[in-house]
A and B are shown apart, each in its own frame.
Chain A
Amino acid sequence: EVQLVESGGGLVQPGGSLRLSCAASGFTFSSYWMHWVRQAPGKGLVWVSRINTDGDSTKYADSVKGRFTISRDNAKNTLYLQMNSLIAEDTAVYYCAKGDPQPYWGQGTLVTVSS
Chain B
Amino acid sequence: DGGITQSPKYLFRKEGQNVTLSCEQNLNHDAMYWYRQDPGQGLRLIYYSQIVNDFQKGDIAEGYSVSREKKESFPLTVTSAQKNPTAFYLCASSIPGSTGWRNTEAFFGQGTRLTVV
A, B: real partners: no
A binding-site residues for B, Cβ under 8 Å: none
Interface residues of B (CB under 8 A from A): none
